[in-house]
Structure 1
Amino acid sequence: MGIVETRRGGGAILARPPDQIFPGQIIRRLEEGQALVDCLATGSERDCSLDGKCRLKFRLIAAEQAFYADLDKHSLASIAL
């Protein structure tokens, strides 16, 4: 991801300045392919008796987007110092 560089012999440092690293980027990458809930999974074969009637799934999608949007506003520098 270009966030951490390892050093020969051990150790690691940030690959970019902390004001250029955003937690939203990191969490998106770590959570890639993981749905917030089963019914949101791409290609999910789980049957849902509420499908077509459930309004919760759209609220969960909106909440997840708001979560990432907020994380994207703050750099590692702004939250670590």
Structure 2
Amino acid sequence: MLSKNKRIMSLISSSIDAALLIVAYLLANWMRFRCLPFLEEGGAGPALEIARNPLVTLGWAVYAVAMVLIYWGYGLYDASRL
């Protein structure tokens, strides 16, 4: 029973970590292009169009999941004490 609970907690922890990575990326883009004023019209240049591309967002989502899987593989989400 303890092993099953430990596995569930590890899965929840890694899922929250992946979600927070994705939210942090989206929040950073929102702050950069919506909240911060630009010095001149079109001051963001091509970066704004790149950030609006849905493939970029999908790429960051895949990156977040890949990092969690790598961390999981190395046992960083294991609840055991070393």
- Structure 1 or 2: more helix by fraction: 2
Question: Larger relative contact order (C-alpha < 8 A, sep ≥ 6)?
Answer: 2
TM-score (normalizing by structure 1): 0.41
**TM-score, normalised with respect to structure 2:** 0.40
Richer in strand (by share) = 1
